Amino acid sequence: MNFRIPMRRLATVRAFIAFGASVGMSLGGAAIAQQDVSHEGALERFTADLKYLASDELAGRLPGTPEMETCLKFIVDDFKKSGLKPGMPDGTYLQTFDVGRRNSVVADKTSFGLVGPKDKMDLALGKEFSVQLKNNSYDVTKDLVFVGYGINASEHNFNEYAGVDVKDKFVIVMRMEPQQDNPDSVFDGAETSDYASIRNKVASAVEAGAAGIVFVNDGKTVTNEDADKDELSAGDLFGNSTGSLPFVHVKRAVIDKILAQAPLTKPDGKKFSKLAEIEKFIDESLEPVSQPIEGWKATAKAEFKREEIMTSNIIGVIDGEGDLAEETLVIGGHYDHLGMGAFGSRSPNRGKEIHNGADDNATGTAGIMELVRRFQSRDGKPKRRLVFICFTAEEMGLLGAQHYVANPVYPLKDTIAMVNYDMIGWLRDDKLTVYDWESSPEFAGALDRANEGMGLNLIKPNGGFAGSDHLPFKGVGIPVMFLHTGLTSTYHTPEDDFESIDCNGAVKVIDYTERLIDELANLDSRPTFGGGGGGSRVQRVRLGAQLETIEDGGGVKIVGITEDSMAAKAGLKEGDIIKKIGDEATAARRDVIRIVSSNSGKKVKFTVDRSGTESVIEVNLKND
């Protein structure tokens, strides 16, 4: 990826839009100065916000990071400048909560070194080595053994642990597998076989009695030194599969330096002093070259600390006026994304690159900010209360929206509808998809009236599942609409950048949404819940388990459990790995969310791996 220079917010474009009389209703709180009402003015504001929200400076907006806090302050500052009233009872905009816990490295108590007969290398944490995040600390010094790709494939007569003693020693293991680009390879041809998975490599090392693992990238994955990125520092990628086993990742240059002093030797006397030479030999011969690194030891020391991940929904309000003032219309969209893409990325081999999430969902966040300015700039107040929410932790399983629904600031019984923004940056052929429009029979007319004179091609799917922050509201019987311009090839990849966004199209969606909100806020009576097709289906997603996808199809790990939740009542525990729900495999977090939502009100069986033992746990997916 070509990392860009971080884009800073341009102070010169902080004008606020004035909208008003032509819509037929006066909305707003404390009015602000009316300035630029043109499309160009709105486009300038939206573009500046989007550039900053999707910039490298915010590092992918991952909850619990300093960059996420910077993003939060950016949004709050804009709400304040708009004159938007804080939505929380304590006079702030922040609904803060705990989304789980994570390990972090205690840097000054973590080290890794390689000691030989004539040389000693103390590696730099974060530059030359990284460690797998674990619960246990360790301080060990052990002999080194090279085991190639660390594969034990008896059916292919290829066992890199055969004839070599690795018990109570550190093993050096290369990533992937031999003959990766050979269509005739016994390892599933040019496809990647299960033997290439880190999970499989760890299991083989543990079975052989290794004391620790030194992991190193293969030459096919990394073609130059800049591409030699560690695979561990982003998070606990392998669940509990390594137990207490120390596991570090080092640069290829480190291993090459050892091999230059202690080359490996084949029975014919041929010596290998570089990883590339070893890889070439194994590719051509499919013969292991496993053997001790004579005279060399690894010394590994690490300490970890467990920290809560705190994050916040951002909530602002425009009070209503009149007989319907106590009814609430929620307008929301999430402002978090994937950070460096360790979990949730569709580019799993690029988990050390920033995933800026320009479309998902910097567009929706910038859209919320622009809507706030428009409604806040009006004279007078709306008939109904407008609550604007930038949700957090959507990518972790709709946690921000779930938290609000479980802890509503404004009564859910008085919440008439929820309008959700998620990915509005690719308006193609003027097609705007509105999911869950059938959740109220009154929505169809409101959608069409808002579109008069705009010419949008409204796509209204019959039923279907679209996982975003509207679902928890729908799950408690609140009519919802999810506005979306469609999935793209950049979705959940490092390529979801500002440059790919159709800003003109996004502003058109915002223009339409402003009219739609007017329609909903101006209804004589509140929308009824239910209707044709999929609208009457209540999709409940409040399992109460915080989830992370394990790479290579290893299942979905539970990294946190909410007290008194469905998950807690069923006996699911932090650290459990969900392998199946019913008869359906769960390869990714989204699978769990989808299956749970589609089985609302039922009892389903979760097959989980708990510390290496598989068991079946029945979960009641009915909200009491």
Tell me: pLDDT of 22 over 60: no
Q: Which CATH class is domain 11-102+307-536?
A: alpha beta
* pLDDT tier, 16 (very low <50, low <70, confident <90, very high otherwise): very low
Summarize pLDDT for 319-366 with one digit per residue, the tens: 999 999 999 999 999 999 999 887 778 775 565 689 999 999 999 999
Q: How far apart are CA 151 and CA 197, in angstroms?
A: 10
Q: Which of 421, 435, 433 is nearest to 333 (CA)?
A: 421
| Mean pLDDT to the nearest integer, 141-153 | 96
| Mean pLDDT to the nearest integer, 573-586 | 90
Dig out the tokens for 290 from the structure.
Answer: 């496993």
| Mean pLDDT to the nearest integer, 68-93 | 97
Other C-beta atoms closer than 10 Å to the C-beta of 488 total: 18
Q: Which CATH class is domain 107-302?
A: alpha beta
3-state secondary structure of 45: helix
pTM: 0.61
**Quick one: pLDDT at residue 229?**
66
Tell me: pLDDT of 24 over 60: no
Tell me: pLDDT of 502 over 80: yes
Q: Where are the domains of the chain?
A: 11-102+307-536, 107-302, 545-620
Tell me: pLDDT of 408 over 90: yes
| Mean pLDDT to the nearest integer, 219-239 | 59
CA dihedral of residues 376, 390, 473, 100 (deg, nearest 10):
-160
* pLDDT tier, 11 (very low <50, low <70, confident <90, very high otherwise): very low
* pLDDT tier, 227 (very low <50, low <70, confident <90, very high otherwise): low
| Mean pLDDT to the nearest integer, 229-241 | 43
Query: Across 39-43, 126-130, 293-297, which has the greatest mean pLDDT?
Result: 293-297
**Quick one: pLDDT at residue 463?**
66
| Mean pLDDT to the nearest integer, 296-306 | 93
Q: Is the domain defined by 545-620 classed in CATH 3.40.50.300?
A: no
What backbone torsions phi and psi does residue 174 show, to the nearest 5 degrees?
Answer: -85, 150
Cα 10 to the center of its chain, rounded Å? 28
**Quick one: pLDDT at residue 465?**
57
**Quick one: pLDDT at residue 349?**
57
Mean per-residue pLDDT over the chain, rounded: 86
| Mean pLDDT to the nearest integer, 281-310 | 93
| Mean pLDDT to the nearest integer, 284-291 | 94
Query: Across 125-134, 221-230, 515-524, which has the greatest mean pLDDT?
Result: 515-524
